[in-house]
Amino acid sequence: MAYKNLREFISLLEKKGLLKRISAEVDPILEIAEITDRVCKGPDGSNKGLYFENVKGSDYPVVTNIFGSSERMAMALEVNDINDVGAKIEDMLNQAPPKTLMEKLAMLPKLLEFSKFLPRTVKSAPCQEVVEKDNPDLSKFPIIKCWPGDGQPTDEGRFITLPMVFTRDPETGKPNCGMYRIHVFDKNTTGMHWHIHKDGARHYDKYKAMNKKMPAAIAVGSDPAVMYSATAPLPESMDEMMFAGFLRKEPVEMVKCITSDIEVPANSELVIEGYLEPGETRIEGPFGDHTGFYSAADYYPVFHVTCITHKKDMLYPTTLVGKPPMEDCFIGKATERIFLPLLQLEFTEIKDMNLPMEGVFHNCALISIKKSYPGHAKKIIHGLWGKGQMMFAKLIIVVNDDVDVQDISYTAWRVLNNVDWKRDVVIADGPLDDLDHAASFPRYGSKMGIDATRKTREEGMTRDWPDELFMSEEIKRLVDERWKEYGIG
């Protein structure tokens, strides 16, 4: 059974001892952030979700770090192991196109299963129990400031850090939901930090070209599959809410906003409705980001609030990003597992992928492949740079499929021994993640691919590749048998 809403997930965390309630009064300015940072990096067993019951200046409780471990992330998506989600996607994708009538009939249940996940519109919704239309005021909500340097001198540096931003393509009517942080400028104005590569920005470009006001809505807190889907790097054509329906195995119920036609999840905790004027921008940031550095202030579109709706017993979820490991790392790791089968659909030679947390997802990808022809690793490197948000991968390292890329130490040893840098390195120019601060220009610079596979004659290798060291099975058995005799312990 899918979670009905965020509260149901929180209750389960609490029942399993994975949530800690804090009743002492805490300040949403920096104090919640510092507590969360310590807890999410704490020793084993102490890293829990946090429920702040008493937040200074607000009537509403705050939850943080709810997705901040593999266990909690798996619980959020109702699986024992995140790999189970990937396996389910693989199963669905691996359906060969039906040829005979019997095969077509056999496919029907699968197809019906998909249509079962389409979002459904409802007339009334918990997220509209309270409607504030006349004087919408964001200052009532416990929106946190994460890091000392966040925001402009003219504001308090508060950011909504788990927002689900809903927009619609003005040409096709297709909805999109993306997680783009929201910088609160004042009680009814915010920034809209969709990077230029993202789907929300594509919709905005179209409104700008038509010189039309763009409606949008920011929903905060819903059942966890919906919240996760806002972060998933889906193709533009895929509705995140359908994907969420697939993950939770029940359609997402949507409700129309009070002041626009945008639809939001009916079980949201908080919904901020509003619009963007085409071409209006304002300085957004700086913001202590998930790279562990501040992302620089820059011009971004401005969001004007027209109405705020929320549940009576609203719960405000938020996250703190910073130096890894933090909550977003576990969200990112879920994405690595869930999207591997999708990459494998096109790149059947890929065996596994590891995006190490230290690489904050866009800085490093370790890929193992079944190598079949000269230049195969380089084909994978270029291929991945052309695939959706994999375009941001600043370093792609490709190894043979006998390397377990989840074992970083072993992988590093193989790579460092197996590379001739001039022959095996590809450096290319292209788009970079908005958060990259090392390139000379914003969003544009160079990336590197390393072919660390065993090289062949066709690839210019004139020498034989050496064998890796392994003891013979016979001697291993002998030593096993005699181990006690040596008295080593």
Ligand X SMILES: Cc1cc2nc3c(=O)[nH]c(=O)nc-3n(C[C@H](O)[C@H](O)[C@H](O)COP(=O)(O)O)c2cc1C
Residues 88-127 that bind Mn ion (CB under 5 A): none
User: What mask of x and - would describe binding to ligand X in positions 369 to 398, judged by CB under 6 A?
Assistant: --------------------x---------
Residues 355-414 that bind Mn ion (CB under 5 A): none
CA distances from 80 to 71, 74, 209, 248 (A): 8, 6, 47, 14
Selected range binding ligand X among 76-84, 176-184, 208-216, 367-375, rule: CB under 6 A: 176-184
- Residue of 20, 71, 152, 233 that binds ligand X (CB under 6 A): 233
Is residue 200 involved in binding ligand X (CB under 6 A)?
yes
Q: Tell me how far, at minimum, the Cβ of 143 lies from ligand X, in Å.
A: 14
Q: Tell me how far, at minimum, the Cβ of 242 lies from ligand X, in Å.
A: 13
- Residue of 36, 128, 176, 188 that binds Mn ion (CB under 5 A): 176
Q: Tell me how far, at minimum, the Cβ of 270 lies from ligand X, in Å.
A: 16
Residues 326-345 that bind ligand X (CB under 6 A): 328, 331
Selected range binding Mn ion among 103-111, 194-202, 314-322, 428-436, rule: CB under 5 A: 194-202
Number of residues that bind ligand X (CB under 6 A): 20
The residue among 199 and 451 lying less far from Mn ion, judged by its C-beta, is 199
Is residue 354 involved in binding Mn ion (CB under 5 A)?
no
In the set 289, 328, 424, 433, the catalytic residue is 289
List CB contacts of 117: < 8 A, sequence separation 6 or more. Answer: 242, 245, 246, 249, 250, 251
Is residue 181 involved in binding ligand X (CB under 6 A)?
yes
Give the count of beta carbons closer than 10 Å to the beta carbon of residue 246. Answer: 22
The residue among 48 and 203 lying less far from ligand X, judged by its C-beta, is 203
DSSP string for 196-257: TTSHHHHHHHHHHHHT--EEEEEEE---HHHHHHTTS---TTS-HHHHHHHHHTSPPEEEE-
- Residue of 194, 207, 300, 330 that binds ligand X (CB under 6 A): 194
φ, ψ at 107 (rounded to 5°): -75, -25
DSSP helix/strand/coil, 132: strand
Is residue 199 involved in binding Mn ion (CB under 5 A)?
yes
Beta bridge partners of 461: none
CB crowding 463-487: b at 16 or more within 10 Å, else e: eeeeeeeeeeeeeeeeeeeeeeeee
- Residue of 199, 223, 284, 451 that binds ligand X (CB under 6 A): 199
Instruction: Pick one of Mn ion, ligand X, none as the site partner of residue 181 (Cβ within 5 to 8 A by kind).
Output: ligand X
| Contact status, residue 184 vs residue 144, Cβ threshold 8 Å | no
Long-range contacts: 379-383, Cβ < 8 Å, 24+? 380/347, 380/349, 380/350, 381/426, 381/449, 381/451, 382/426, 382/428, 382/449, 383/346, 383/347
φ, ψ at 471 (rounded to 5°): -75, 150
Is residue 231 involved in binding Mn ion (CB under 5 A)?
no
List CB contacts of 210: < 8 A, sequence separation 6 or more. Answer: 170, 278
Selected range binding ligand X among 5-13, 95-103, 174-182, 476-484, rule: CB under 6 A: 174-182
Q: Tell me how far, at minimum, the Cβ of 19 lies from Mn ion, in Å.
A: 30
What sign does the dihedral 109-110-112-117 (CA atoms) show?
positive
Which ranges of 347-388 would DSSP assign to H, the alpha helix?
376-385
289 annotated active-site:
yes
Instruction: Return the half-sphere exposure (C-beta side, CA atoms, 13 A cut-off) of residue 374.
Output: 7
The residue among 37 and 328 lying less far from ligand X, judged by its C-beta, is 328
By annotation, the residues acting in catalysis are 289
Contacts with ligand X, residue ranges (CB under 6 A): 161, 176, 178-181, 193-195, 198-200, 231-233, 319, 321, 328, 331, 389
> Contact positions toward Mn ion, by CB under 5 A?
176, 199
